[in-house]
């Protein structure tokens, strides 16, 4: 079966750094996506990785290791507005997205 695992909930302090991990087992791989979803709102696209390595975009970075079936999202200089759920999704051999259940990130002052 296909499976995406990520922690259910994480807590971090404003101004700090947090790493959200995602491991996957899918039938084929055609890229990995990270989305942010604030409570009661639509998911919004954050990043896309298809090759191994780190992609940096401002305060957010995403890393991929295809051989390990592993990715992480790194958030730096945390702000209160970063409190949200972070969804990991893998595009499989049929080009459909397989989603994780999301990691709820709580930022404390």
Partner 1 sequence: ETGVTQTPRHLVMGMTNKKSLKCEQHLGHNAMYWYKQSAKKPLELMFVYSLEERVENNSVPSRFSPECPNSSHLFLHLHTLQPEDSALYLCASSQDPAGESYEQYFGPGTRLTVT
Q: Which of 21, 23, 61, 96 binds partner 1 (CB under 8 A)?
A: 96
Q: Which stretch binds partner 1 (CB under 8 A): 11-19, 40-48, 63-71, 75-83?
A: 40-48
100 makes contact with partner 1 (CB under 8 A): yes
Q: Which of 81, 66, 64 is nearest to 21 (CA)?
A: 64
Q: Which stretch binds partner 1 (CB under 8 A): 12-20, 21-29, 58-66, 86-94?
A: 86-94
69 makes contact with partner 1 (CB under 8 A): no
3-state SS class at 66: coil
Q: Which of 33, 63, 72, 86 binds partner 1 (CB under 8 A)?
A: 33
* Contact mark string toward partner 1, 2..21, x via CB under 8 A: --x---x-------------
Residue 40 near residue 48 (C-beta atoms within 8 A):
no
CA distance from start to end of the chain: 40
60-79 burial code (b ≥16 CB/10 A, e <16) = bbbbbeeeebebbbebeebe
């Amino acid at each position: 079966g296909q499976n995406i695992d990520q922690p259910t909930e994480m807590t971090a302090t404003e101004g700090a750094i947090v790493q959200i991990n995602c491991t996957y087992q899918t039938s084929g791989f055609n890229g990995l996506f990270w989305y942010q979803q604030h409570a009661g709102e639509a998911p919004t696209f954050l990043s896309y990785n298809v090759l191994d390595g780190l992609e940096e975009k401002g305060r957010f970075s995403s890393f991929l290791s295809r051989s390990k079936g592993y990715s992480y999202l790194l958030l730096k200089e945390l702000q209160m507005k970063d409190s949200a759920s972070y969804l990991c999704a893998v595009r499989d051999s049929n080009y459909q997205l397989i989603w994780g259940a999301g990691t709820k990130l709580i930022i404390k002052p």
